A and B are shown apart, each in its own frame.
Chain A
Amino acid sequence: MSALGEFRRLGTTRSGPRRKRDNKAAYLFLLPWFGGLLLITAGPVVASFVLGFTDYNLIQPPEFNGLANVRRMVADERLHQALGVTFGYVLGSVPLQLAAALALAMLLDRGLRGLAFYRSAFYLPSLLGSSVAIAVLWRQIFGAEGLFNRALDLVGVSGRGWISDPDTALSTLIVLNVWTFGAPMVIFLAGLRQIPAMYYEAASVDGANRWTQFRRITLPLLSPIIFFNVVLQIIHAFQSFTQAFVVSGGTGGPSDSTLFYTLYLYQRGFHNFDMGYASALAWLLLLIIAGFTALNFWAAKRWVFYDD
């Protein structure tokens, strides 16, 4: 049952016997969260919404300009470029990264010596995070004199500066994202640990092979966690900023080929003193992400399995 399904059930009067409303306890448990929503989150969020209808250069007071920012979006070619880049990145990197993370998590889950070592080794790149070192390190692989080109030289192919070629720059960022699959891998690992081993034992006794076990046990029981990773990685990929920022020095170059949506928004807001438009851009992104997330929750009804 998906979260959305549950929302729907809440909307009706159909409540099971154990689904008694427990408002008091719930609000007590949610007290910190309500506090955060009202005191920390609400103000800036509302402010950014209001600023979306203004011309605001950060230094002087904002001026209302109605829907001018929206009209600008329609004609803004760099915005359209940024949307294209971002969709390409989301579609390319999320499936690849999650597949790599799940595969490695399965491999590293049990039954192999030196697991702790491999887990740590595979996680180590993710630790670098947004470090400034990333820009330099990534060049050691995909730069004109990087590891990748030297490997190509061995087989007699002459390479190029993959990071700085507009045809390949985005792909290297997708690889960079896959390279840092540590976070979803750890979440998968934690999820796999929640699957009782006896299911597999029973299946083995029944003669089910690995693939059948994966399809019939792992996938359904891990589905809430897979779902979590899919939802969050998509949101995350849409908001992807740091890697492109660090690798391209904040420009989104070459030739805007790595101009991620948030990078463009940041440039408008901070480099061009155009925070009103940046705020409007942020809300467009929110709508896009919310749309994708709603789609995910809707689709989840068909494949996510909860034990409740």
Chain B
Amino acid sequence: MTDLTERTVPVVTTGDPPPPRFRVPAPVRSIARHAALSLLALVMLYPVIWMVVSSLRPDAEIFRSPGIVLDSLRVANYGTGWNALTSPFGHYLVNSAIVVLGCIIGNLVSCSMAAYAFARLEFTGRRLFFALMLGTIMLPIHVIIVPQYIMFSQLGWVNTFLPLIVPKLLATDAFFVFLMVQFIRGLPRDLDEAARIDGAGHPRIFLRVILPLMLPALATTTIFTFIWTWNDFFSQLIYLTDPEMYTVPVALRSFVDSTVATSWGAMFAMSVVSLLPIFLAFLVGQRYLIKGIATTGIK
């Protein structure tokens, strides 16, 4: 693929018109495509469906009756699960929501700023800092967490949401910095050149030109931060020791103890409940994913 290195976008034609070939009528193809996609969706969703079904079964039936055919409907698990721990489950949902909100704001602001610098600005040490940024995501959390815990505990931050949120405000989530760098570099330079000729400085270019154009990247960041923070177990487990501060994943695990009977029905019910916010977030967020350049009509 030699054309990849060319500066212009290659729209290459073969010269010859495409050979005539038999085409399946459009409606048939469409139905076939829907059928295939639906089947795939069903297979992929089977475990999720099983979980929802199990949340409606009595505990004792969950592992004794396989399959997803429901012969009795038992919503009692939802009530039991909601009140199974020392606080109502809503308490943990609120805690998670606070952490998620803080992390989203932190990531959106700090990562986009850092990404703009890496993608568009020339500065001393850029090479080194970029490598450092990538390097920070290469160490597994399990060896970082003990020194970090000691540090935060010296600051008196244990059992607050600060150890979970403040790092995000400081762009420590290199995944999103790198993601945004790649997106910004995909944007045509002519746009910021034009703005610069009009006398715009970097803050203005960043806010008025780049940010609106990287909406898909920002939406991606928001959705992922939401989902990953919502699901993150280990750091929340370590930093939040007081049950009053527990978040959803920590609370959910408190249902399960492998040595005694677990209230599986209640656990699945609360898993379904905790899945709803991120699913809704995805449903809403995905609309912004598709509002990229292609639909704003630039270029």
Q: Tell me the A residues contacting B by CB distance below 8 Å.
A: 3, 7, 10-11, 15, 18-23, 25-27, 29-33, 35-37, 39-41, 43-45, 47-48, 51, 58, 107, 112-114, 116, 118-133, 136-138, 140-141, 145, 147, 179, 183, 186-187, 189-191, 193-199, 202-203, 206-209, 212, 215-217, 219-221, 223-225, 227-228, 231-232, 235, 239, 241-242, 249, 262, 265-266, 269-270, 275, 278-279, 281-283, 285-286, 289-290, 293, 302-308
Interface residue from B45, B109, B133 paired with A121 (Cβ < 8 Å): B45
Flag if B11 contacts A203 (CB, 8 Å): yes
Interface residue from B116, B167, B253, B293 paired with A196 (Cβ < 8 Å): B293
Chain A residues within 8 Å of B66, by CB: 140, 145
User: B240 at interface (Cβ–Cβ under 8 A)?
Assistant: no
Bound-state CA distance A126–B231 (Å) is 10
Chain A residues within 8 Å of B11, by CB: 199, 202-203, 206, 208, 216-217
**Closest CB of chain B to A250's CB: distance in Å?**
10
**Closest CB of chain A to B111's CB: distance in Å?**
8
Flag if A196 contacts B189 (CB, 8 Å): no
Bound-state CA distance A23–B124 (Å) is 7
- What are 28 A-B contacts with C-beta separation under 8 Å? A23-B123, A35-B170, A36-B171, A48-B147, A119-B286, A122-B41, A127-B282, A129-B227, A129-B231, A141-B47, A179-B44, A187-B220, A190-B219, A193-B290, A194-B216, A198-B299, A206-B11, A206-B13, A207-B17, A208-B14, A220-B3, A224-B182, A232-B175, A232-B178, A242-B233, A262-B140, A269-B142, A282-B140
**Closest CB of chain A to B56's CB: distance in Å?**
15
**Closest CB of chain B to A270's CB: distance in Å?**
7
Flag if A141 contacts B46 (CB, 8 Å): yes
Flag if B116 contacts A29 (CB, 8 Å): yes
User: B72 at interface (Cβ–Cβ under 8 A)?
Assistant: no
Chain B residues within 8 Å of A194, by CB: 183, 186-187, 216, 292-294
Flag if B9 contacts A227 (CB, 8 Å): no
Chain A, interface SS category: helix
CB closest chain-A residue, reference B110: A32
User: B158 at interface (Cβ–Cβ under 8 A)?
Assistant: no
Flag if A26 contacts B126 (CB, 8 Å): yes
Bound-state CA distance A136–B139 (Å) is 29
Flag if B189 contacts A127 (CB, 8 Å): no
Chain B residues within 8 Å of A137, by CB: 47-48, 50-51
Chain A residues within 8 Å of B282, by CB: 120, 123, 127
CB closest chain-B residue, reference A308: B189
Flag if A289 contacts B48 (CB, 8 Å): no
Quick one: which of B50-83 are within 8 Å of A by CB?
Answer: 50-51, 66
Known contacts A25-B202, A32-B110; A18 and B193 CB within 8 A of each other: yes
Flag if A207 contacts B18 (CB, 8 Å): yes
**Closest CB of chain B to A52's CB: distance in Å?**
8
Flag if A120 contacts B279 (CB, 8 Å): yes
Bound-state CA distance A26–B120 (Å) is 9
Flag if B137 contacts A235 (CB, 8 Å): yes
